[in-house]
Structure 1
Amino acid sequence: MSTQPIHVDLPHKLGKTEARRRIADNIHKLTSFFPGGGSVSHQWQGDRLDLDIAAMGQAVTARIDVEEAVLRVHVALPGLLGMMAKPIEAALRSKGSELLLEDRSK
């Protein structure tokens, strides 16, 4: 099955530790990027977050590499979800930092 890759860099000024904390607090909101929502499972590997997302009956794999000043988001959209690549990429670019890095500690 072919996949449509999306790669988005999201700059931030939080440093790795704070960016990781905020992402961990906001993972549950990631399904809002996919039509019909879905479910997310995740696992940290150092400063890389591996994600498995179930959306629209499809399995989506994603990775977020947390760096000192940027989040590197990589998503592989399978099958029919590949047709949604442009709007999903646009949503990540416009709302990704806000969604992933919102400070929920206050």
Structure 2
Amino acid sequence: MSTQPIHVDLPHKLGRAEARRRIEANMHKLTSFFPGGANVTHQWQGDRLDLGIAAMGQSVEARIEVEDALVRCHIQLPGLLSLMAKPIEAALRSKGSELLLEDRSKD
């Protein structure tokens, strides 16, 4: 079974530096986003975040590019997860900004 790419753009008005800060501060949320948890590795390359997510017996590669007014999410879904591409894309579109850009610094 082949991989299925997902590309989602999340507009914001935070500016590049603040968007990046919030994404970094919210990385811990990714582990709880998956049923049963996930092993998440991440590494910044400038304003690009490379992610490796291992969950439910699958490994997913993702890339998040932070721009001044947009966060671009690129995800490669392997094997059986590719069958879930549409619901995963819909969830990312509806909850992605909350998941990645929520400001928890005042809590």
TM range (shorter): over 0.9
Per the alignment, residue 57 of structure 1 pairs with 57
Q: CA deviation at 1:33?
A: 4.4
Bigger Cα displacement from structure 2, 63-72 vs 32-41: 32-41
Per the alignment, residue 13 of structure 1 pairs with 13
- For residues 73 and 91 of structure 2, the distance between their equivalents in structure 1, rounded to whole angstroms, comes to 12
One-letter amino acid of the structure 1 residue matched with residue 29 of structure 2: K
Q: CA deviation at 1:32?
A: 4.4
Question: 1:55-79, CA deviations, whole angstroms, 9 ceiling, x for partnerless residues?
Answer: 1111100000000000000000000
Gaps of 5+ in 2: none
TM-score, normalised with respect to structure 2: 0.93
Show the 5 A alignment for 1:68-87.
Answer: 68-87=68-87
Specify whether residues 13 and 23 from structure 1 end up closer, same or farther in structure 2 by C-alpha distance, changes over 3 A only: same
Specify whether residues 58 and 50 from structure 1 end up closer, same or farther in structure 2 by C-alpha distance, changes over 3 A only: same
Specify whether residues 35 and 79 from structure 1 end up closer, same or farther in structure 2 by C-alpha distance, changes over 3 A only: farther
Specify whether residues 37 and 85 from structure 1 end up closer, same or farther in structure 2 by C-alpha distance, changes over 3 A only: farther
Q: CA deviation at 1:86?
A: 0.8
TM-score, normalised with respect to structure 1: 0.94
One-letter amino acid of the structure 2 residue matched with residue 7 of structure 1: H
Specify whether residues 79 and 6 from structure 1 end up closer, same or farther in structure 2 by C-alpha distance, changes over 3 A only: same
Specify whether residues 57 and 75 from structure 1 end up closer, same or farther in structure 2 by C-alpha distance, changes over 3 A only: same
Describe the SS at the equivalent of 1:81: helix
Say how many residue pairs are matched. Answer: 106
CA RMSD for the aligned pairs?
1.3
Specify whether residues 31 and 87 from structure 1 end up closer, same or farther in structure 2 by C-alpha distance, changes over 3 A only: farther
For the 8 Å contact 1:33–1:88, the answer to whether it is kept is: no
